[in-house]
Amino acid sequence: MVRYSKGAFRELVRDYDVDIAYTPMILADVFKSSAFARQDYTTNNSDCPVVVQFAAHNPTDFAQAAELVAPYADGIDLNCGCPQKWAYKECIGAYLSERPEAVQDMLHAIKSAVNIPCSIKIRKHPSDMRKTVELVRRAEKMGVDWITVHGRTRHQKSTEPVDYEAIRLVKESVSIPVLANGGIFSISDADTMYYKTAVNGVMSARGLLQNPALFAGYAQTPLTSVEKYVNLALAYGTPFFILHHHLIFMLESVMSSVERKTFNCLSSTPAILDHLLFYYGIKCTL
């Protein structure tokens, strides 16, 4: 989740049965070159296990970024699944899901550079699942510790069905753990994914943004979760736009259209706190 899975949100979802939390996708070349950029990643003793997710297009940047962050992380992930057009043009994200040689080179570099677990997150190939199988088998040979696969291509919309058979094929093609991603918005969705693919774990992104408590069995975000998040965000010094956007996601299912319009126009943290107190009785102070 670009921008959103920062420290406050990671701490929140750990209270609701999330076992492993990932950072937002970080650009390896910027991270390794800029001390200022490195300040964007913060962690603490309760943020465990945390996987730092990098986007990279060459082995040197990836390895150097990983070396810098390894003492403060429990795992490193190479994002080969981001479908955004800008990422593809920069030869990162889903661009790599179609280029097993490049992924192999980067995995070789990171395995030589750090001694903590590493993974890759991929999408199914746009036209030929044999290439996806080739990619994951190469990754396994290079010593990757687990693989996460999103059951859609980079061209597919998030509203389109997830390809369970593609995920199952990945699971059957390697002997290391495989996690599944895509279309997880409830415990029922997670159960269906397990049943149809036999994976070792399930990952959620948009589902957790809308309902951070989904893995604890909640059908929608409980107000106690909203209050927890706001207090954590204030304690962490979370920027206003991130706080605002998180709450837009979390309150989407309970807001009326009129309230949504009002909330979307709020422009300061005090205004958000006043709104939460008025509408929901949630008391938070700066």
List the structure tokens of 192.
């269906």
275 is in an annotated binding site: no
44 is in an annotated binding site: no
166/152 Cα distance (integer angstroms): 9
Instruction: Check: CB of residue 171 under 8 Å from CB of residue 199.
Output: yes
237 is in an annotated binding site: no
182 is in an annotated binding site: yes
DSSP string computed for 146-179: EEEEESS-TTS-TTSPP-HHHHHHHHHH-SS-EE
Report CA-CA distances (Å) from 173 to 94, 108, 137.
Answer: 20, 20, 7
Scanning the chain, the segments in alpha helix (DSSP H) are 7-14, 28-33, 35-38, 59-69, 85-89, 100-113, 129-141, 164-173, 187-197, 206-210, 223-236, 240-251, 257-264, 269-280
150 is in an annotated binding site: yes
Active site residue 91: no
200 is in an annotated binding site: no
280/178 Cα distance (integer angstroms): 40
Which residue is catalytic, options 82, 118, 265, 284? 82
Report CA-CA distances (Å) from 183 to 64, 86, 97.
Answer: 34, 23, 19
205 is in an annotated binding site: yes
| Binding annotation | 53, 121, 150, 181-183, 205-206
| Binding annotation for FMN | 53, 121, 150, 181-183, 205-206
Catalytic residues: 82
